[in-house]
Structure 1
Amino acid sequence: MAASTTLWDWRGGDLVIVDHCEVGETALEAADSFLVSDGRALALALHRERFAETAIERGFSDRSALDEFWQAGLDAIPRDGRWFPRFELVTSRDAPLLRFRLRTAPDLTESVVVATAADDPRRVPHLKGPDLAALSRLRQEAQRAGAQEAVILDDGRVSDGATTALLWWRGDTLFTPPLVLPRVDSVAARTVRGVAAALRVPVDEEAVAPAELEGATLWAVNALHGIRAVTSWVDGPALAQDPARTAAWRARLTALARPF
């Protein structure tokens, strides 16, 4: 299927299709995306709550409108094929506007190469939406360095990816960057940690510089690709690979997807 996007605005309690040419300049205040495969998605309730909390923090106080908008967007998603919809709150002409993008999903990958970001351009690091344009630029810089993803550091310590959350294994313990670091609360990472808890796998936090991940098995996780093995870090540490564990945990996440 060729990549395509259909755009709707929420007007008067309904989704109204908008011609892309009619869309003026806007500021993105909140955004949430997830993979839909043949009418099934993972952790939809968490995505819905994160979007609502972000929108409310950014000044949209009508929770009932947010709930109606979310449901209307879900109803607009076909129940066959793979999709990557995005729910948005934007500011248009100084007024808030709810917007829904129905996008065909891009090709999915199971591995990724990363590079260290030169800086941290985030203004509101704990929210998903306002910094997406800046994070996209980080990712483009990583691509020019031969990677597909940028790793953001906080005072020299691994914090987050431009479009992913980072988790790593040392032996049989799963590690995450310190949860107090300012970053988006990744639904994918929360789900992986939940699977670990169900399996009684130890989970711990660790503040590490990139060099301290030498020999660890590093995962980049997000709502589109799920778990991806980081196979290489440009000018960074040499990483271990555990294909069997990665495949098993990818399968566990896939099994958690539910129809909606």
Structure 2
Amino acid sequence: MRSWTWDPLRREFVSGGATGELRLADSWFVGDGRVRAFERHRRRFSKAALELGCTDADSTDFCSALIDLIPRSGEWFPRVEVLGDDEPALGFRLRPVPSRTDELDVWIPPFSDPRQHPKTKGPDIGRLGELRTRAHEEHRCDEVLLVDEHGFAVESATSSLLWWEDETLCVPHPELAQLPGVTTSLIQDEARRRSIRIEYRRVRPSDLLRHEVWLVNALHGIRRIRAFSGQLNCECARATKKFWEWKAWLAVQMTLV
């Protein structure tokens, strides 16, 4: 992994990672220089970075320099970030891509969402990473479903939650504390374009069992939840033709940056 830090005086990235507490992060999958919805990722990151006082995050210089660091060959999973407290610094990490999958098993912990900043990607990454390690080691699961204090499903540790009720695409209610996911926004926009009905709902994990349930993010695209473990121990509905059609559609949304 290589790291760079933004130099606001030289208006360029310099080799070496910034230090300090992770305040903000955004990441995306790169395949031969192609990224899905890069502009949406850029806007989400720059908006949050501006709130932390990193005005350069929205500058043309920063965006151009960031794009120059994205490789034009191979598969990667880079991350742009804000670190530090008093004088937060902008950074960029070029990471190899992890294994990508189509389906997964999900652990439902016996406690509510532990995040302290549920609407900001970054500050809780370490905490969520520990939860995913526990899910893997203790329950042989790949992910963790986060539920709020009332027992409503919100999202997973790394992905947005979607599910289908017949031909209706269902999304967790916007009043639930969740990240503004880029991939889920793409899918919802395409559903509207296809005149597919979208419903925003509050559901408990047990309500999801008879439905096709997806977890979606920039790295994996769309994954189907195969089974739950923990508070529930059961398999979910099998993948339908719809699952493979949407995965194929999402795969062609990659464009050169």
Q: Could you say whether these structures have the same fold, taking a TM-score greater than 0.5 normalized by the shorter chain as the test?
A: yes
Given candidates 136, 139, 146, the residue that maps to 1:152 is 146
Q: Give % identity.
A: 34
- What is the deviation of 1:143? 1.3
Secondary structure, in 3 states, of the residue corresponding to 1:74? helix
- CA deviation map 1:144-165 (0-9, x unaligned): 2111100010120001110011
Secondary structure, in 3 states, of the residue corresponding to 1:95? coil
Unaligned runs of 5+ in 1: none
Structure 2 partner of 1:179:
174
Secondary structure, in 3 states, of the residue corresponding to 1:78? coil
Question: Is the alpha carbon distance of 1:63 and 1:106 closer, same or farther for their aligned partners in structure 2, counting shifts above 3 Å?
Answer: closer
Q: How many angstroms apart in 1 are the aligned matches of 2:35 and 2:22? A: 24
Structure 2 partner of 1:239:
236
Q: How many angstroms apart in 1 are the aligned matches of 2:152 and 2:112? A: 12
Between stretches 52-61 and 217-226, larger displacement belongs to 52-61
- What is the deviation of 1:62? 4.1
Give the alignment of 1:209-228 within 5 angstroms. 209-228=204-223
The answer to whether the 8 Å contact 2:152/2:205 transfers is yes
- What is the deviation of 1:170? 1.2
- What is the deviation of 1:64? 4.6
Q: CA RMSD in A?
A: 1.6
TM-score in terms of structure 1 length: 0.91
Q: How many angstroms apart in 2 are the aligned matches of 1:70 and 1:180? A: 32
Structure 2 partner of 1:109:
101
The answer to whether the 8 Å contact 1:219/1:227 transfers is yes
Q: Give, as a single letter, the amino acid of the residue that structure 1 aligns with 2:51.
A: E
Structure 2 partner of 1:10:
6
Question: Is the alpha carbon distance of 1:63 and 1:87 closer, same or farther for their aligned partners in structure 2, counting shifts above 3 Å?
Answer: closer
The answer to whether the 8 Å contact 2:143/2:157 transfers is yes
Structure 2 partner of 1:257:
254
Given candidates 177, 188, 196, the residue that maps to 1:193 is 188
Q: Give, as a single letter, the amino acid of the residue that structure 2 aligns with 1:91.
A: G
- What is the deviation of 1:238? 3.5
The alignment covers a number of residue pairs equal to 250
Structure 1 partner of 2:29:
35
- What is the deviation of 1:59? 2.9
The answer to whether the 8 Å contact 2:57/2:90 transfers is no
- What is the deviation of 1:58? 2.4
Given candidates 97, 105, 119, the residue that maps to 1:126 is 119
- What is the deviation of 1:214? 1.9
Q: Give, as a single letter, the amino acid of the residue that structure 1 aligns with 2:106.
A: V
The answer to whether the 8 Å contact 2:161/2:213 transfers is yes
The answer to whether the 8 Å contact 1:215/1:238 transfers is no
